[in-house]
Structure 1
Amino acid sequence: MGPEAGTVHIDADGATLVGDLAVPEEARGVVGFAHGSGSSRHSPRNRSVAEVLRRAGLGTLVLDLLTSEEERVDMATAELRFDVPMLARRMVAAIDWLAGRASTGDLPVGLFGASTGAAAALTAAAERPERVRSVVSRGGRPDLAGAALTEVRAPVLLVVGGEDREVLRLNQQAAERLTAPYAFHVVSGATHLFEETGALEEVATAARDWFVRMDGEAA
């Protein structure tokens, strides 16, 4: 299968979602991104991580889980970004969409969730255990996945900034509820957005290594 790249539209949960799909030639897997609070598929942090994954032979789907109208509402109310069940349903729809596409249908799926998007990614992984092979949470709120944490079967990597102490505590509590294999990667000196020099590069490298290793083990 040759390379593919472009903007895509996915019908999900009564909405049409917009995403950027990029699949390198002979891709070894594909990773769906669930962005975090107040962010979008244009987030430079997620796009930076996605580029590192593509260089490792992984396809990426960087997706807006809210429509443009919903984003305007959310900017004023901040309520939709915390609607984890809705975000998870849309992430499941994206996983199913990837399964039905010629370029990605046979590829193992990973999920990369940031902030509240991590809860959506974990909930979606619990809903599609036969499709999702691995999950990475970046500065995430896995605790918001609630009861779904015990249903996740894919190995989970929890990446947290060492100075993001409250989120680190919440991640530790959520990890205790996981029954799937998991690991922590604490980025020393980093705060919530990993804006410190070299911090985001460390996140991207850890995510790349996790997805590549898990895809290899599942092959």
Structure 2
Amino acid sequence: MGAERGNHGAGAAEGEVLLPASGSASGEQLGGDLAGVDNRDGLVVFVHGSGSSRHSPRNRAVATGLNRAGFATLLMDLLTPTEHASDERTGRLRFDIELLTNRVLGVLDWVSERADLNARRVGLFGASTGAAAALGAVARRPRAARAVVSRGGRPDLAPDRPEDVHTPTLLIVGERDAEVLRLNENFARRIPAEQEVHRVPGATHLFEEEGALEQVGQAARAWFTHYLFEPSSTPS
């Protein structure tokens, strides 16, 4: 009930949607879950990585918090079912950032063609290698999203130069995730956009510690609220 199938431009209800899969040899589409379309403003597209999917419990928890805060959310798979099965055996596609970046751009095109979504300001929430794909997407298409949030991301794997990222970017990293923290700090120093590295005290890479994921959600909500709800030219 409530699911929409196919790439239609308008009138879709919440629920499961099918999204374009750029470069798919099999012609399959990507799965997605759309929620909060009745909320007032802003759409956050979740970009999963490192073998995960739209069913990631961590990202779904963050998405639920964003829905309660007034955002619409789209959790998407980056791989088709056939590709996911192949990647489970080889682990290769999850690191094909060029492919993943093109998938994100294709989904942003899908959003722009939908009458119930295309007037919203869009944000991207990327995790692990998905963060690299999200950053690649905004580097190539700066107006496609108003803000990016990365959770435990690998910005060093982004296919474009950090200097090409002109979208405000929040990099959330566990304080005890030392190598990933170093990579994020290096990336932040090079991008020309407004940026912040948010360290979650005591947290490791998966934010499994008590209260860590709640801090991720709070930081993401604050960032998206500022950039998706307010005019970009807010006076200082």
Give the TM-score normalised by the residue count of structure 1: 0.95
Q: Does 1:19 align with 2:28?
A: no
Separation in structure 2 between the aligned mates of residue 25 and residue 148 of structure 1, nearest angstrom: 37
Residue 16 of structure 2, aligned match among 7, 13, 33: 7
Q: Where do residues 82-97 of structure 1 align in structure 2 (5 Å cutoff)?
A: 82-97=95-110
Separation in structure 1 between the aligned mates of residue 40 and residue 96 of structure 2, nearest angstrom: 32
Alignment check: 8 A CA contact 2:176 2:204 kept: yes
Separation in structure 2 between the aligned mates of residue 56 and residue 177 of structure 1, nearest angstrom: 31
Separation in structure 2 between the aligned mates of residue 26 and residue 89 of structure 1, nearest angstrom: 28
Equivalent pairs counted in the alignment come to 219
Residue 139 of structure 2, aligned match among 126, 133, 138: 126
Separation in structure 2 between the aligned mates of residue 48 and residue 26 of structure 1, nearest angstrom: 17
Residue 223 of structure 2, aligned match among 184, 194, 210: 210
Return the letter of the residue paired with 1:62.
L
Separation in structure 2 between the aligned mates of residue 112 and residue 182 of structure 1, nearest angstrom: 14
The Cα shift of 1:41 comes to 0.5
The Cα shift of 1:22 comes to 1.2
Separation in structure 2 between the aligned mates of residue 69 and residue 12 of structure 1, nearest angstrom: 12
Alignment check: 8 A CA contact 1:118 1:137 kept: yes
What's the counterpart of residue 39 of structure 1?
Answer: 52
Distance 1:106 1:39, change over 3 A: same
Q: Does 1:158 align with 2:171?
A: yes
Question: Residues 146-205 of structure 1: CA distance to partner in whole angstroms, max 9, x if unpaired?
Answer: 434221221000000000001001111111221111001100000000000000000011
The Cα shift of 1:71 comes to 1.0
Separation in structure 2 between the aligned mates of residue 56 and residue 75 of structure 1, nearest angstrom: 35
Residue 185 of structure 2, aligned match among 172, 176, 190: 172
Which structure 1 segments of 5+ residues have no match?
Answer: none
Equivalent position SS for 2:89: helix
Return the letter of the residue paired with 1:195.
E
Give the TM-score normalised by the residue count of structure 2: 0.88
Alignment check: 8 A CA contact 1:3 1:22 kept: no
* Overall identity of the aligned pairs, in %: 53
The Cα shift of 1:26 comes to 4.0
CA-based RMSD of the aligned residues comes to 1.7
More strand by share: 1
Alignment check: 8 A CA contact 2:39 2:67 kept: no
Q: Where do residues 34-113 of structure 1 align in structure 2 (5 Å cutoff)?
A: 34-113=47-126
Return the letter of the residue paired with 2:107.
A
Separation in structure 1 between the aligned mates of residue 72 and residue 226 of structure 2, nearest angstrom: 15
Separation in structure 2 between the aligned mates of residue 163 and residue 51 of structure 1, nearest angstrom: 26
Equivalent position SS for 1:36: coil
What's the counterpart of residue 43 of structure 2?
Answer: 30
Return the letter of the residue paired with 2:22.
D
Separation in structure 2 between the aligned mates of residue 23 and residue 126 of structure 1, nearest angstrom: 27
